Amino acid sequence: MEQRRFSGNSHWYHETQSSLTIQTAPLVPEAADIEDRFLLGLAPLCDGELKNTLQQAQPALQVSRYLYQVLFPAQLSTTRTQTLTLYDRLSTALTVAQVTGIQRLCNHYAARLNPLSGPDSSRESNRRLTQITEYARQLASQPTLIDCAALQRLDDVGLTLPDIITFSQIIGFVSYQARVVAGINALLAIPVRWIPGVVIPDDARPEYFENTAPWQPQLTPVERRYASASQLEALTFCQSQQGLNESAWLLAHDAETLYGWSVLRTTLEAPMATPESSLAAAVTARINGSPACFYRYTHETLRTALKKSIAQAMTSANTDEQAVIQLAAQLTRSPERLSAAHLQPLNEAGLSQQAIFGVIQSVALANWNNRLLQTLGSTCPANA
């Protein structure tokens, strides 16, 4: 059968295959050309204390902008080992944006995707894009849905090992970006959601946290003898970071993203070292089903309660801790529904706006970390 290539992604709600109809402009075409492609035009809306807060957060925001450029460059050439096209990457980003319900992200990724040519109309290409879209949707909404069989299906449709790592990083990055954007919207007291939201998935089951064995990769890590100079440089940088001894060698299949992600983790270490941010990250890991991240939280009483459920943790926490748990749970489960009302209890607890934004960043980064560690490796037989 002759393979044909059709251009087009007619609007931000995209399907897995391009349409034969005449190409239509995206809803907000100017969203493709916005200067700040991480905060997507929110920074100019901030003034006073919030402007100062973002200024203090510039090191992390600059790294985030760098990571955007790494994952979504203006042009991209594929190779035998890196087969993800720019269309694949932006299509994946749009799928994640749709899951989070943040229309600012949907507008941007739809506008960037719109002029690109989609895959050809062969059965193989359609099956590949369908599987990529389904995997991205599941990982963005409920990481516990991903298991070894899901990873195998990516291999079956032709994704290489470096592809799978980059693909996972893209889903994690947009999950992180969505929650930072949602948090700033809430700090500005403006709506996050302009479109109908998705059904909120269930929290991870308690049995995911019964096994405390060390995290092990489910895919083959980079071998030192075959590592490139860029991979060794990224791995050297990661050596000093807690919890990256095993995962870094797997994530090194995409060395540039690994390096940027590691720099971001290092940059956010101080804001995330507070009791509030540590608790928020643990709540996120509990919801997402990531024991490797969850057991880094050392408050034994609250951790025991969290293992049972978020509701149980609420009964064991004091008023200030309850405010953190509620914010982290809302931002993790349903970022498009976050509002200024969810931040008010933290204000009443005496947290500064900078501290609150630190909690938001902690939840956002935890959502990225969980999606990497929960799906690319395992400590739990239930997910093996």
pLDDT in tens, the chain (384 residues): 333 333 444 344 454 444 433 445 556 777 778 889 999 999 999 999 999 999 999 999 999 999 999 999 999 999 999 999 999 999 999 999 999 999 899 999 999 999 998 888 899 999 999 999 999 999 999 999 999 999 999 999 999 999 999 999 999 999 999 999 999 999 999 876 655 556 788 899 999 898 778 889 999 999 999 999 999 999 999 988 877 888 999 999 999 999 999 999 999 988 788 999 999 999 999 999 999 999 999 999 999 999 999 999 999 999 999 999 999 999 999 999 999 999 999 999 999 999 999 999 999 999 999 999 988 997 654 433
| Residue 199: closest CA among 99, 284, 96 | 99
Tokens at 342, concatenated: 């969810």
Question: Going by C-beta distance under 8 Å and a sequence separation of 6 or more, which residues neighbour residue 322?
Answer: 314, 345
pLDDT at 257: 98
Question: Going by C-beta distance under 8 Å and a sequence separation of 6 or more, which residues neighbour residue 332?
Answer: 179, 283, 284, 287, 288, 363, 366, 367
Distance CA 314, CA 305 (A): 8
Distance CA 220, CA 253 (A): 10
**Do 67 and 257 form a contact (C-beta atoms < 8 A)?**
yes
Cα end-to-end span (Å), the chain: 40
Domain boundaries, the chain: 206-383
Class of domain 206-383: mainly alpha
Tokens at 365, concatenated: 């980064």
Q: What is the CA radius of gyration of the chain?
A: 20
Helix (H) or strand (E) holding 5: strand 5-7
- State pTM to two decimals: 0.90
